[in-house]
Amino acid sequence: IIYDGDDAFISNCIESACLSHKAIAWSRTDSDAPLYIEKIEKKEKGTVILCTLLGLTQKYVIPFTDDASIENVIHCLAVMLYLKPTSVNDANKFARLEPVAMRLDVKQGINNCMLINDTYNSDINSLDIALDFQQSRHVDKNLKCTLILSDILQSGTLPKSLYKKVADLVRRKNIDRIIGIGRDLKEYGSAFDIEKEFYLSTDEFLKSPTFKKFKDELILIKGSRHFHFERISELLEKKVHETILEVNLDAVVHNFNYYRSKLKPETKMVCMVKAFGYGAGSYELAKTLQEHRCDYLAVAVADEGAELRKEGISIPIIVMNPEFSSFNVLFENNLEPEIYSFRLLDAMIKETERRGITSYPIHIKIDTGMHRLGFQPDDVPAICERLKEQSGVTARSVFSHLVGSDSSIFDDFTKKQLDTFTQAAAELENGLEYKVIKHILNSAGIERFTDYQMDMVRLGIGLYGVSASGIKGLRNVSTLRTTILQIQHVPAGDSIGYSRRTYVDRDSRIAIIPIGYADGLDRHFSNRGGEVSISGKRCPIVGNICMDACMIDVTDTDAQEGDPVIVFGEELPVNELSDKLKTIPYEILTSVSPRVKRVYYRE
Ligand SMILES: *Cc1c(COP(=O)(O)O)cnc(C)c1O
């Protein structure tokens, strides 16, 4: 065991454990230690370490100045001393060491701020290192040093003494201001004797006036994962032309569990991740759903399923529109096809026989009124007959799809569909003489016809936070956000954009945002047809929407260049957009162009 002999805790442990291992303690104080560190001298670009090993005094120059790197190098010296004493002479190699990629990157922030990000963990040791790093970056002395810190979780120390230590540390490292987030910091904030502010939650802080006022600061953002400080850093980062679709995976899980809570425990769930997960991105969602024990996934075409397999998704996957040309992809990736016609059924059986496969799972689709793909209910006897004379495929499930489960005006028709299906499914099961999973409900169906959950349900839009029947309790999943690139002052009477379709009738502040119809922002929102939200305030879209940008009227707000803009999300629901366009939320969600980067987060 090679260890820091000056660390009382480690030394005590090793001594009291009476280890049979060989122990090498290096030390900065004990000149009898096998590796004695005589002197550590930090220079501008490196550190000189003077030490005695094997009785010889040696000098090492390393290209780092932070305490953690210095300690790492000393450990390396001790290891070399033990393994290969001759190589200890290669002192010059140390000067050529390269820094390990730092988890703390420095980014340009808004209003001449610099940001140092560590939004993943927080403990007092890593805080020490991060503060050192911050000091080493404090080149422009006009910048104020600010620390945004979350509660330190699971420290094993009582909060009172913990935050006293933190306060000492922060004072020693010349921090000018602390912003503390969390219950403990708020309670023990009096320990700090510098400029300070405290908030209970990240949300509270994001809504505070302070958050809008960062200027000329070197900001270290350091918090436990749980506090989601990436939301802070994202908003403070200087945005380069970027429009993103932010996807809250915890909201997906919430919605999934919300529907599950409405069902009997034994009812299975298929999650529909077709069309790139309704635009939100199928892989991240599939992975999350797999972790939460969803029974099945469903995609539209075989290639979508193959992609999921490639990413390590192992739960069963149904392919809703299998192409005749894609059998190879199906079998190679263990994807289960929906079978909707005798032509497809025969081709599938032939293919399994050719490959020598038996009992390959298929899903029989019955058309009960949609008149899209599907067998007719009176095809059931013939289906049974065809299935019984072969062994290549097995009907794993039988299902149908409702045409108007979201609306009470179709309830009579829905009842008819439910009855027709119940009958056809029973007939199929009787004819086959084995159990087949029966399912018909989509999201709105689960909300409104829970009694017909049968063996399984198919959850689609509800998973993505949109209730077709208007129930409360779902959480918003996707937020389409962008940022203000420029603000122009346009005098009254001037026109905005192509073809002069909007004139302003007062002196106006017009903001330009980098999202256009090529990103999926429907051009019908042009000329005050649609709105975006800036800090909770609605701003109309003015002028014709361009391919990659559009203009919005921010005259009635104090919006600034660089401010975030929400196109849809919690404060501007997708439903509202689809209503304006006389379409459905599905189309808005799936229209967000693939060039818009998807960013996933958990809370
Ligand atoms: C898309 C789809 C669903 C999910 O519908 P939602 O209205 O989004 O819940 C269910 N079943 C089938 C066959 C589908 O194609």
Residues 492-534 pLDDT 10s: 999 999 999 999 999 999 999 999 999 999 999 999 999 999 9
pLDDT for residue 97: 78
Residue with tokens 């932010």: 246
Ligand 1 atom closest to 365 (CA): 13
The contacts of residue 392 (CB under 8 Å, 6+ apart) are 348, 349, 350, 351, 352, 353, 357, 358, 359, 360
| Cα–Cα distance for residue pair 18/348, rounded to 1 Å | 69
pLDDT for residue 18: 66
Helices (H) and strands (E) in the chain, counts: 19, 30
pLDDT for residue 326: 86
CA dihedral 248, 252, 258, 264 (to 10 degrees): -160
Cα-atom radius of gyration of the chain, to the nearest Å?
32
> Is the CB of 460 inside a 6 Å radius of any atom of ligand 1?
yes
CA of 279 to the centre of ligand 1 (A): 14
Reported as half-sphere exposure (CB side, CA atoms, 13 A), residue 266 has a value of: 4
> Is the CB of 443 inside a 6 Å radius of any atom of ligand 1?
yes
The residue whose C-alpha atom lies closest to atom 12 belonging to ligand 1 is: 401
Work out the mean pLDDT of the chain and round it to a whole number.
Answer: 91
Q: Which range, 75-79, 96-100, 320-324, 583-587, is most confident?
A: 583-587
CA of 288 to the centre of ligand 1 (A): 19
Beta strands in 346-387 (DSSP E): 360-365
CB distance 397 to 364 below 8 Å? yes
Ligand 1 atom closest to 399 (CA): 13
Ligand 1 atom closest to 445 (CA): 9
| Cα–Cα distance for residue pair 427/37, rounded to 1 Å | 85
> Is the CB of 374 inside a 6 Å radius of any atom of ligand 1?
no
Residue 224 main-chain phi, psi, to 5 deg: -65, 150
| Cα–Cα distance for residue pair 461/476, rounded to 1 Å | 11
Cα end-to-end span (Å), the chain: 39
Task: Write the single-letter amino acid at 278.
Answer: Y
Helix (H, G, I), strand (E, B) or coil at 300: coil
Q: Retrieve residue 172's tokens.
A: 């020693």
| Cα–Cα distance for residue pair 278/280, rounded to 1 Å | 6
Task: Write the single-letter amino acid at 104.
Answer: L
Q: Is the pLDDT of residue 601 over 80?
A: no
Ligand 1 atom closest to 446 (CA): 9
- 344: closest CA among 368, 327, 367? 327
For 409-501, where are the alpha helices, taking DSSP H only?
411-432, 443-448
| Cα–Cα distance for residue pair 37/596, rounded to 1 Å | 54
> Is the CB of 285 inside a 6 Å radius of any atom of ligand 1?
no
The residues annotated as belonging to the active site are 274, 498
The residue-averaged pLDDT of 263-282 equals 94
CB distance 352 to 393 below 8 Å? yes
CA of 588 to the centre of ligand 1 (A): 16
> Is the CB of 530 inside a 6 Å radius of any atom of ligand 1?
no
pLDDT for residue 118: 79
Going by their DSSP bridges, the two strands 495-496 and 502-503 should be labelled as antiparallel
Task: Write the single-letter amino acid at 518.
Answer: A
> Is the CB of 326 inside a 6 Å radius of any atom of ligand 1?
no
> Is the CB of 461 inside a 6 Å radius of any atom of ligand 1?
yes
Bridge partner residues of 61 (DSSP): 48
Mutate to test the pocket of ligand 1, among 442, 446, 447 (most ligand atoms within 8 A of CB): 442
For 107-182, where are the alpha helices, taking DSSP H only?
124-136, 159-172
Angle, CA 319 vertex, CA 475 and CA 453 arms, to 5°: 55
Summarised one tens digit per residue, pLDDT across range 150-207 is 999 877 788 899 999 999 999 999 999 999 999 999 999 999 999 999 999 999 999 9
Q: Is the pLDDT of residue 379 over 70?
A: yes
Q: At what angle do helices 159-172 and 124-136 cross, to 10 degrees?
A: 10
pLDDT for residue 430: 96
| Cα–Cα distance for residue pair 111/323, rounded to 1 Å | 54
CB distance 299 to 273 below 8 Å? yes
Residue with tokens 């810190």: 149
Cα 471 to the center of its chain, rounded Å: 25
> Is the CB of 272 inside a 6 Å radius of any atom of ligand 1?
yes
CB distance 450 to 206 below 8 Å? no
Q: Retrieve residue 188's tokens.
A: 């023990």
The residue-averaged pLDDT of 45-57 equals 85
Going by their DSSP bridges, the two strands 35-42 and 47-53 should be labelled as antiparallel
- Please, what sign has the CA dihedral across residues 190, 194, 197, 198? negative
Q: Is the pLDDT of residue 145 over 90?
A: yes
| Cα–Cα distance for residue pair 330/462, rounded to 1 Å | 28
CA of 271 to the centre of ligand 1 (A): 9
- 362: closest CA among 315, 430, 316? 316
| Cα–Cα distance for residue pair 448/414, rounded to 1 Å | 11
The residue whose C-alpha atom lies closest to atom 10 belonging to ligand 1 is: 442
Give kind and range of the element (H or E) at residue 35.
Answer: strand 35-42
pLDDT for residue 361: 97
Summarised one tens digit per residue, pLDDT across range 283-323 is 889 989 998 989 999 999 999 999 999 988 999 999 999 98
| Cα–Cα distance for residue pair 509/489, rounded to 1 Å | 5
Q: How many C-beta atoms lie closer than 10 Å to residue 366's C-beta?
A: 25
CA of 442 to the centre of ligand 1 (A): 5
- pLDDT > 70: what percent of the chain? 96
Query: For the chain, what is the largest distance between any 2 Cα atoms, rounded to a whole number of angstroms?
Result: 95
Q: Confidence class of residue 13 from pLDDT cuts 50, 70 and 90?
A: confident
CB distance 11 to 30 below 8 Å? no
The contacts of residue 300 (CB under 8 Å, 6+ apart) are 274, 275, 319, 320, 321
Higher pLDDT, 18 or 507: 507
Helix (H, G, I), strand (E, B) or coil at 86: helix
- Please, what sign has the CA dihedral across residues 10, 15, 16, 21? positive
CA of 243 to the centre of ligand 1 (A): 28
pLDDT for residue 101: 46
CA of 292 to the centre of ligand 1 (A): 20
Higher pLDDT, 326 or 86: 326
| Cα–Cα distance for residue pair 454/452, rounded to 1 Å | 5
